[in-house]
Amino acid sequence: MIGLVLIATTVAQANLQITVDRVLRAAELRQTKVSLFAVDLKTNETLIHVNADDPMVPASNMKLITTAAALDSLGPEFIFRTELRVIGPDDWPGKEEQAVQFAHQGGTVLLVKGDGDPAFGDPKLLEQYHDMDGERLLGTWVDVVRSAGITHIDQVVVDDGVFDRELVHPSWPDDQLNRWYCAQVAGLNFFDNCLHVYPEPGQLNHSPHIVIRPEVPFLSTTNRAISGMADTFWVDRRMGNNDLTFMGKVKTRRSRPVKVTVHDPPMVFGQILADRLRRAGITVSGVGLAESEVPLPAGRPLHFVQTTLPAVLERCNKDSHNLFAEALIKRMGHRVTGAPGSWHNGSAAVRIVLRRLLGPRAAVVHIADGSGMSRDNRVTVHILVDLIAAMVKDNKRGPTFVNSLSIAGVDGTLRKRMKELAPHLYAKTGYLNGVTALSGLLVLPEAEPAQIDGA
């Protein structure tokens, strides 16, 4: 599945189609289904058309639809905001029974209010934009709490109600749910909703040393790995909890972590924050999740973390990060309906955008999730190309959309690919077992400056 929008001065339409047809015949692809479409944006001529209107599994090319819809639905100026607030004994209205019970007889509640930000605590963006890591972010919040004169907290409460609590899409593969690209999707996300595990070899045939980041001392772990003459280390997490088992052999010390997803990210973050507060000498009696039937007072703000939409789009498209796409689709659902964001109302929000941009023919698109991890998604390459063209022509949203794409030979998932097209191909890769996709924008050199800036 390949879709391209070309910005060009002259392109030989007939020659391209003839060449593509000849290559496909020579390839003897047999049962492989191919879908290709390319259009010259300057002349609106169709350059290549092969099964372009057949619905296909888009894999991560689905992120093009999700990010384009997010720019339209949320707006390029949208900012995710995660807040740390404190609710003191005097903030509770009266002494209603529910409030008294929840606040431990009118005690102090430290409230973390999520906004669905997939980048909260993201290791890459923290380093890129703030020159810090997850521990320094936690340390900042601990310092803020201490500076406010708070020495005891009755409960750390995480409010993740911006999204529903269906954390895993039902059509994602069960055997891959502990891998980073199937991270759970919550109203409060932290550290990509993963743990980074670093095994270090010890004495031959003995257990290796295991380092976990962020440090989570309350985890239950079993070390069945051994130090050996091969590197086959892996981590198993039992579904429904955070019990980890380390398996395989460890030969060398890893510089890159083995990533494993966590179950119930909001609760895990609340427990991590409570642990860091206790280490700083602040007592914490408990950790919980906010419940919609027990409304909380607003309290007063202590700190907040913000992430711009363009930063999220780049992480989503350049790095093909699934969590970012899923948070976007759920956040759109919340924006449109006012209800907790879900895959259901998020898909409806995306369909609204597609219909507005492309008309009734966009009804052929079937949206299951935002990232393309689900094999239930269906998109035609014709729709993808027309959507890219519509975004490129949009003076307000186009530059942000194009800048979120990988550049061949330069960055993202195309950093080591198609170097002969650097830096003229802006595209999104896609891969599932049995599915390969690539869609994007090819800017011929003589057209690049004027067209990209004015797109």
253-277 exposure pattern, b = at least 16 Cβ within 10 A, e = fewer: ebeebbbbbbbbbbbbbbbbbbbbb
Q: Does residue 431 contact residue 58 with C-beta atoms inside 8 Å?
A: no
pLDDT score of 445: 73
Q: Does residue 1 contact residue 385 with C-beta atoms inside 8 Å?
A: no
pLDDT over threshold 80, residue 454 = no
Instruction: Look up tokens 């509640």; give the residue.
Output: 109
Please write the tens of the pLDDT for every residue from 346-403. 999 999 999 999 999 999 999 999 999 999 999 999 999 999 999 999 999 999 999 9
Kindly state the average pLDDT of the residues 408-432: 94
Q: Please, which pLDDT band fits residue 284 given cuts at 50, 70 and 90?
A: very high
Please write the tens of the pLDDT for every residue from 197-249. 999 999 999 999 999 999 999 999 999 999 999 999 999 998 999 999 999 99
Higher pLDDT, residue 96 or 80: 80
pLDDT over threshold 50, residue 103 = no
Residue 74 to residues 68, 257, 412, Cα–Cα distance (Å):
10, 34, 24
Q: Please, which pLDDT band fits residue 444 given cuts at 50, 70 and 90?
A: confident
- Please tell me the total number of residues recorded for the chain in this structure: 455
CA–CA separation, 104 and 155 (whole Å): 8
Please write the tens of the pLDDT for every residue from 8-25. 444 555 678 888 888 888
pLDDT score of 449: 39
Q: Residue 349, SS3?
A: helix
Angle at 87 between CA 82 and CA 88, to 5 degrees: 155
Count CB atoms within 10 A of the CB of residue 115: 24
Please write the tens of the pLDDT for every residue from 134-174. 999 999 999 999 999 999 999 999 999 999 999 999 999 99
Pairing of strands 244-247, 221-223: parallel
pLDDT score of 1: 65
Higher pLDDT, residue 3 or 264: 264
CA–CA separation, 302 and 140 (whole Å): 11
